Amino acid sequence: MVIKYLEKLVKYIKEVYKIERGISKLSDKRRNPIYSTGQVILPVLFGFIIRIQSFNELNNRIKSNDFRRLVSRRTKFPLIDTIRDTLKCINVQGLDDINVGIIKKSVENKVFRKGTV
């Protein structure tokens, strides 16, 4: 049942906030990466949405394929070591651009009431 709600939320985020476009533009300083920066950030985003409290728990969720129904079959998730290495050298400006876009769209859609977040 929780997975259905998560699927709906991810679909909403993709359609309204165009989060995939922002994630695909992210870059980092790794040399010859096996996984794109977007593939690395996706499980972190899912973990943030469902309030995973540690990378160990996120690693267990990735290994048990909990996020498999949320992405296409061709998408492969990296292990936690790759995620840590990527987060160390990611371009923070790209994340800031995504954040600004989400806030602009939220204001546009009148999500904020009386100046509250």
DSSP 47-115: HHHTT---HHHHHHHHHTTTTGGGS-TT--PPPHHHHHHHHHSB-HHHHHHHHHHHHHHHHHTT---TT
Write the pLDDT tens digit of every residue in 23-67: 989 999 999 999 999 889 989 998 998 899 999 999 999 999 888
Q: Is residue 115 included in any domain, yes or no?
A: no
The total number of structural domains in the chain stands at: 1
Q: Is residue 80 included in any domain, yes or no?
A: yes
Q: Is residue 44 included in any domain, yes or no?
A: yes
Q: Is residue 117 included in any domain, yes or no?
A: no
The residue range of the domain holding 86 is: 2-108
Let me know: does 25 contact 10? Beta carbons within 8 Å.
no
pLDDT averaged over the chain? 88
Q: Is residue 20 included in any domain, yes or no?
A: yes
Owner of token pair 């990527």: 86
Residue range 106-111: mean pLDDT, rounded: 86
- The residue ranking higher by pLDDT, 74 or 58, is 58
